[in-house]
Chains A and B, each alone.
Chain A
Amino acid sequence: MDAIELEGLEKRYGKKVQALRGVDLSVRKGEVFGLVGPNGAGKTTLIKALVGSLRPSGGRARVLGLDPLKDRTELRRRIGYMPQSPVLYDDLSGLENVEFFGAAHGVRGLRERAREALRFVELEERANDPVHTLSGGMKNRVSLACALVHRPEMLFLDEPTAGVDPRLRSRFWAAFRELARGGVTLFISTHLMDEATLCDRVAILRQGRVVVSDSPREILRRGRTRLLVRENGKEEERIIGGRPEDLAEALHAYGLRKSVSAVSVETDSLEQVVLSIIGEEA
């Protein structure tokens, strides 16, 4: 059984706005799954539907084999959720916030577990400071600690690295990897295409539809490679497929003649591949 199974999930707001237009998706247990898309693609709507705080207009969703709405009491025990932008009580300290959300789950040894969660996000020394005195990145870390204090099987993180500087972002991703190694399934939304390459698999969401869902490596293979060859002082450009086999085949044609003085290869970035896929679909 997959961690998430979605079939034709839809969400309409009134008659005009359709945030999700039939999303099909499956997420395997223990993987880091990226939901990538521009602002307004429907990422937050999809996450809210998966954690049971939004009623879909159609389709079917299963999270850990449970219905996000009907079985939400059971589901909420087993998942952690970090909303977009740090949703915390500003007057309370980081530790009090983590303890409050942990108390909902009846966590045993709550104080120690809350400290452990703050240690994990490397914020133990500021644990007792009121949240309103913390920087944006620190608030994000408190928010992450709140989501994982009860050691959930699955984490839903809605743009956890938005507005976070590059150094902290790499620490976040290291933390996500560490959680995944411990067996936690992570479902992470981002609008940054370069973060997609850090996931095991990704789904590209655009205007409420999944445009492509695969591993970043497989998606990159669908791109094109530009082969630039200089022979006898003359530049030649050839467009070939994105697979390593395509490159080998193209190089065979040259047979590594002495006259070939330079070879360079430019491959499509993930973003370019996705844009061309979108172009094909349109």
Chain B
Amino acid sequence: MRRTFVVGRRVLRQLRRNPRFLVLTIVGPLVIVYFLKLFFDTFPEGFDTGRYAVPAAAFIVHFMAFLLCAIALVQERTAGTMERMFVNGFRRAEVIGGYVLGYLGLATFQAAVALGEVLWLFELDYDADVLASLFAVVWLLAIASVMLGIFVSTFARRESQVFPFIPLIAFPSVFLSGLLMEPDELPRWAELLGRAFPVFYANEVIQEMIEPGGALADVWTNFAVLAGYGAALLVLASLTLREVE
């Protein structure tokens, strides 16, 4: 456990030393959310923008957290620092756990900033308990995304090998996870496929909570699935991360 914290502290320290990277990871989602606002402003008045805007913020956080973490870990492999960590006695679970700890802070911050901007720009007014659940679900999604990034990175030897995974994860999340329509209107197999992506469960919670009279009790299983999703990926990644070539 001590070595997990050592890795986490080192990852955080590297993030802090890299202000340009940090600013981009925070400003990037902010700008994209603003573009979203411009896009929805062209829609007729009375259009329910909240139904799309909040999940869109969740998706942006998911995508950024996934990508940044995957690339950072692949860079460790290409630079040789991954091998050096292992030869120095760090174990797979410690390296992965350290990355989760390191990126947890960044993901939390991204979740808060993106969600806050959506609520402010789109003038969405929700009760405190709804806000708390929205933040909780976006945060949980961000953690699952970090895990997904770690998992995907174990299949790539170079940065360029991460890129094919990006559309494979981004597009089904957009089209099949209910961001744009109700998933139950999809063919059965496509709906099931959509359930393979963490955005699906986050969206279920968001749609329920932003509905007037929505109740957390109806969607709490999605919270559990999202948490389980992250945990399962963590276990899978610690099995697929290669310590010996």
Binding site for B on A (CB under 8 A): 48, 51-55, 69, 72-73, 76-77, 79, 81, 83, 85, 87-89, 91-92, 96, 100-101, 103-106, 130, 146
Q: Contacts A55-B244, A91-B18 hold; do A83 and B83 have CB atoms under 8 A apart? A: yes
Partner of A92, one of B17, B79, B80: B17
B84 and A83 within 8 A (CB):
yes
Chain B contacts for A85, CB-based, 8 A: 80
Q: How far, in angstroms, from A52 to B89 measured CA to CA in the complex?
A: 11
Chain B contacts for A106, CB-based, 8 A: 2
Chain A contacts for B10, CB-based, 8 A: 89, 92, 96, 100
Instruction: Report B13 CB to chain A, min CB distance, Å.
Output: 6
Known contacts A51-B87, A76-B89, A92-B14; can you find 9 more A-B pairs with CB under 8 A? A53-B83, A53-B86, A69-B244, A83-B84, A88-B81, A89-B81, A92-B17, A101-B84, A104-B89
Q: Is B42 an interface residue (CB 8 A)?
A: no
Q: Is B160 an interface residue (CB 8 A)?
A: no
Residue count of chain B within 8 Å CB distance of chain A: 22
Q: How far, in angstroms, from A150 to B170 measured CA to CA in the complex?
A: 44
Chain B contacts for A55, CB-based, 8 A: 244-245
- The 28 listed contacts between A and B (C-beta, < 8 Å) are A48-B83, A48-B245, A51-B87, A52-B244, A53-B86, A53-B87, A53-B245, A54-B244, A55-B245, A69-B244, A73-B89, A76-B86, A83-B83, A87-B81, A87-B83, A89-B10, A89-B81, A91-B17, A91-B18, A92-B14, A96-B10, A96-B13, A101-B88, A104-B3, A105-B88, A106-B2, A130-B17, A146-B84
Chain A contacts for B80, CB-based, 8 A: 83, 85, 87
Q: Is B34 an interface residue (CB 8 A)?
A: no
Q: Is B90 an interface residue (CB 8 A)?
A: yes
Partner of A81, one of B3, B13, B81, B87: B87
Chain B contacts for A77, CB-based, 8 A: 89
Instruction: Report B238 CB to chain A, min CB distance, Å.
Output: 16
Instruction: Report A71 CB to chain B, min CB distance, Å.
Output: 13
Binding site for A on B (CB under 8 A): 2-3, 6, 10, 13-14, 17-18, 79-81, 83-90, 243-245
Q: Which of A48, A72, A92, A100 has the most CB of B within 10 A?
A: A100
Which A residue sits closest to B81, measured CB to CB? A87
Instruction: Report B178 CB to chain A, min CB distance, Å.
Output: 39
A76 and B88 within 8 A (CB):
yes
Instruction: Report A87 CB to chain B, min CB distance, Å.
Output: 4
Q: How far, in angstroms, from A277 to B115 measured CA to CA in the complex?
A: 72
A87 and B84 within 8 A (CB):
yes
Q: How far, in angstroms, from A251 to B81 measured CA to CA in the complex?
A: 58
Instruction: Report B15 CB to chain A, min CB distance, Å.
Output: 9
Which A residue sits closest to B83, measured CB to CB? A53
Instruction: Report A122 CB to chain B, min CB distance, Å.
Output: 22
Q: List the 5 closest A-B pairs by CB distance, nearest first.
A: A87-B80, A91-B17, A104-B88, A103-B6, A104-B89
B84 and A105 within 8 A (CB):
no
Instruction: Report B4 CB to chain A, min CB distance, Å.
Output: 11
Instruction: Report B84 CB to chain A, min CB distance, Å.
Output: 5
Chain A contacts for B3, CB-based, 8 A: 103-104
Chain A contacts for B89, CB-based, 8 A: 73, 76-77, 104-105
Which B residue sits closest to A156, measured CB to CB? B87
Chain B contacts for A104, CB-based, 8 A: 3, 6, 85, 88-90
Chain A contacts for B243, CB-based, 8 A: 53
Chain A contacts for B244, CB-based, 8 A: 52-55, 69, 72
Q: How far, in angstroms, from A143 to B88 measured CA to CA in the complex?
A: 13
A89 and B87 within 8 A (CB):
no
Which A residue sits closest to B244, measured CB to CB? A55
Instruction: Report B97 CB to chain A, min CB distance, Å.
Output: 14
Q: How far, in angstroms, from A73 to B245 measured CA to CA in the complex?
A: 16
Chain B contacts for A146, CB-based, 8 A: 84, 88
Instruction: Report A89 CB to chain B, min CB distance, Å.
Output: 6
Chain B contacts for A130, CB-based, 8 A: 17
Chain A contacts for B13, CB-based, 8 A: 91-92, 96
B88 and A89 within 8 A (CB):
no
Chain B contacts for A89, CB-based, 8 A: 10, 14, 81
Q: How far, in angstroms, from A215 to B141 measured CA to CA in the complex?
A: 61
Which A residue sits closest to B11, measured CB to CB? A89
Chain B contacts for A76, CB-based, 8 A: 86-89
